[in-house]
Amino acid sequence: MNLRIVCAGFALALAVGAAPSQTIEQLQQRLGAGASSPGLPMRGADIPLVEKPWEKISDQQLFDHGKVALGYDPKAWKHAETDHFVVHYRRMTDAKKVVRQAEFYYQQIKSDLQVTQDRFDRKNHIFVFEKAPEWQQFLSDARINAWAAGVASRSELFFLSRQHDDFAAGTLAHEITHCIFYRFVGKPIPLWLNEGFAEFESGNAYAKFKGIGGGKRGSGKQGAANFPLRKLLEARVYPEDKEQIQEFYRTSERLVRFLLTKLDRKQFVPLAMKLADGASLETAVMEIYPGKFKSFDEFVERYQKFD
Ligand SMILES: [Zn+2]
């Protein structure tokens, strides 16, 4: 899978990344048989969808890219909605496939974050384009790189349906995670945190969606995850070198997995909020986990022993 994705608005800068590829077999190897969360279905349930005219959709607020995608004629799209998502589509089969995953990931992420309520009174909007020419037109109008296969921006997701190929594999989980996480923080967060959390959940939630376990480990065992910590924390754009990009993603995931699985999970969202407000990781860690580490050096030491 060599799809190239733009993970835009949620990160501090619009930049380009190549999401590491993953197959179910790789995930099974990496994840082992983790424990599932009680009360959550192991697989996404089918969600009844009813096509509605745009005027009847309960949340019509769109960010800039969403306005471009909807265009001047909302009737050109079909629309439907679930509890947390509005989906704009051409083919009902695409819409059903996407919302089934999206609602499943929403519940899984909420459970993983141990949060009962998100901060968003809006719905996520997902646009599923059917034909390449209209997709290219959207990319051009929204001033996005013409090679992008999908765009995640703030709480919105845009992608071209791949009718003969399963775009839905881990890549969609990664992209939807960006949009869902936005509901819990509602502000731009550092690049490593954005990508690390999406990588973690694209292993974790996707594996659960497919009914192949999942739990503690995300996608960190795909190779070395030793991107220098200081460079990782300061990054505003992705590294240019392809190998370095992969390592950047893996290391981001490793750091997020450390924070989520080794420290108080309930404090992950407060930590993300602090980082979104501009605090350094050092300041945020020392404030959010008081008494846990004598110094930030001790935090770094513990993280470096973690794989
Ligand atoms: Zn991403």
Tell me, in angstroms, the distance from the centre of ligand 1 to residue 195's CA.
Answer: 5
> What are the beta bridge partners of residue 11?
189
**Apex 273 CA angle, 143 and 255, nearest 5:** 85
DSSP 8-state assignment for residue 50: -
DSSP 8-state assignment for residue 52: B
Tell me, in angstroms, the distance from the centre of ligand 1 to residue 172's CA.
Answer: 10
Tell me, in angstroms, the distance from the centre of ligand 1 to residue 100's CA.
Answer: 20
pLDDT at position 162 is 72
For the chain, the structural domain boundaries read: 5-305
Q: What is the pTM of this model?
A: 0.81
- 226 in Cβ contact with 305 (< 8 Å): no
Tell me, in angstroms, the distance from the centre of ligand 1 to residue 7's CA.
Answer: 4
Tell me, in angstroms, the distance from the centre of ligand 1 to residue 291's CA.
Answer: 33
Tell me, in angstroms, the distance from the centre of ligand 1 to residue 287's CA.
Answer: 28
pLDDT at position 117 is 86
pLDDT in tens, the chain (307 residues): 334 556 653 333 223 333 333 344 443 333 332 333 444 445 667 888 999 999 999 999 999 999 999 997 889 999 999 999 999 999 999 899 899 989 998 998 999 899 988 888 899 999 999 888 999 999 999 998 877 778 888 899 998 887 655 555 567 888 889 999 999 998 889 999 999 999 898 877 777 777 766 544 554 455 678 899 999 999 999 898 888 988 999 999 999 999 999 999 999 999 999 999 999 999 999 999 999 999 999 999 999 999 8
* Protein residues within 5 Å, CB atom, of ion ligand 1: 7, 195, 198
pLDDT at position 70 is 95
pLDDT at position 167 is 54
Q: How many CB atoms sit inside 10 A of residue 35's CB?
A: 9
Where b means 16+ CB within 10 Å and e means fewer, 217-247 reads: bbbbbbeebebeeeebbebeebbeeeeebbb
Residues in the chain: 307
Domain 5-305 fold: Glutaredoxin (3.40.30)
| 41: CB partners within 8 A, 6+ apart | 104
Tell me, in angstroms, the distance from the centre of ligand 1 to residue 293's CA.
Answer: 30
pLDDT at position 45 is 74
Tell me, in angstroms, the distance from the centre of ligand 1 to residue 188's CA.
Answer: 13
Tell me, in angstroms, the distance from the centre of ligand 1 to residue 262's CA.
Answer: 23
pLDDT at position 29 is 39
DSSP 8-state assignment for residue 243: H
Could you give the CA distance from residue 104 to residue 107 in angstroms, rounded to a whole number? 5
Tell me, in angstroms, the distance from the centre of ligand 1 to residue 4's CA.
Answer: 10
Could you give the CA distance from residue 116 to residue 48 in angstroms, rounded to a whole number? 24
What DSSP string runs through 56-125? G-S-----HHHHHHH-S-GGGSEEEE-SSEEEEES-HHHHHHHHHHHHHHHHHHHHHHT-S--S-SS-EE
Tell me, in angstroms, the distance from the centre of ligand 1 to residue 261's CA.
Answer: 21
Per-residue tokens: 305: 């022993």
What are the backbone dihedrals phi and psi of residue 158, each rounded to the nearest 5 degrees, phi first?
-130, 130
pLDDT at position 43 is 65
Helices (H), the chain: 24-31, 64-70, 92-113, 132-141, 170-185, 191-209, 229-234, 242-262, 268-276, 281-288, 296-305
pLDDT at position 243 is 85
